[in-house]
Structure 1
Amino acid sequence: MKYLCSLGSNIEPELHFSRAKHYLHQVSDELTFTRDILTRPVDIDTPHPFLNALFTIETSLTATQLKQRFNAIEEQLGRDRNDPNRSIKDRTIDIDILGPVDEHPEVPTYLQDIASELTQG
């Protein structure tokens, strides 16, 4: 299955993107990333901009198994997944599954400019 996913960080983002990509390559060799872009924080009160990217990953894992792997990577990079306020705080890394590519998942507005980089002709 091929999934469309997103990557975001606003705490030492270049460092955490590099490390996250390293760990993601341990999950699958079938990865394609967009370029990284800076975006304004959404639904979080912080002066720190986010570094964001989209990527596709092809894997035999189910969506649930893949999300578990993504959560483990987030924890390895210092994200406290037990904090009930984690979604409104600065973060070292955030890795989300937007959905299976063949189901044309919705891309957040702030990432739509780079989504076309993943379309296959």
Structure 2
Amino acid sequence: MKYLCSLGSNIDPEMNIHHAKQQLRTLSGDCLFSQNIATKPVDIDTNNGFLNALFIIDTPLSSDELKQQFNQIEEALGRDRSDPERSKKDRTIDIDILGLLDERPDVPDYLQSLTTELGLAS
């Protein structure tokens, strides 16, 4: 199954996105990443800007299994997933499944410019 996913970081973003991409490639040899773009924080009070990217991953894992793998990568890179306020705080890495590629998942507005790179623009 092919999933469209996003990743972002606003703590040492260049380093953390690089490490996340390395770990994601160990999950699947079939990952296609967009370029990284600088974005403003959304729904978080911080002065730290984000780096974000989109990627397509081809894997036999279910979405629940894939999210578990993403959570492990986030934790390995220093994200505290047990903190109930984690979505409102700066983060080393955030990896999200947007949906199955075949189902044309919604892409946040601030990442729309990256869809063309992945051949997804309509």
> Normalising to structure 1: TM-score of the pair?
0.98
Q: CA RMSD in A?
A: 1.1
Q: What pairs up with 1:36-55 in 2 under 5 angstroms?
A: 36-55=36-55
Deviation at residue 120 of structure 1 after TM alignment: 6.2
Rounded to whole Å, the distance in 2 between the matches of 1:52 and 1:69 is 19
Partner of 1:72: 72
Cα displacement string for residues 31-83 of structure 1 (whole angstroms, at most 9, x for unaligned residues): 00000000000000000000000000000000000000000000000000000
Deviation at residue 104 of structure 1 after TM alignment: 0.1
Rounded to whole Å, the distance in 2 between the matches of 1:19 and 1:35 is 15
Partner of 1:32: 32
Rounded to whole Å, the distance in 1 between the matches of 2:73 and 2:92 is 11
Partner of 2:101: 101
Instruction: Go from structure 1 to structure 2 and tell me whether the alpha carbon gap of 1:97 and 1:74 turns closer, same or farther (over 3 Å shift).
Output: same
SS at match of 1:87: helix
Alignment coverage as a number of residue pairs: 121
Rounded to whole Å, the distance in 1 between the matches of 2:33 and 2:82 is 28
Moved segments of 4+, more than 6 Å: none
Rounded to whole Å, the distance in 1 between the matches of 2:49 and 2:62 is 32
Partner of 1:16: 16
The sequence identity of aligned pairs, in percent, is 60
Partner of 2:110: 110
> Normalising to structure 2: TM-score of the pair?
0.97
User: Which runs of 5 or more structure 1 residues have no equivalent in the other structure?
Assistant: none
Pairing 1:58–2:58 present: yes
Deviation at residue 116 of structure 1 after TM alignment: 1.3
User: Which runs of 5 or more structure 2 residues have no equivalent in the other structure?
Assistant: none
Rounded to whole Å, the distance in 2 between the matches of 1:7 and 1:90 is 14
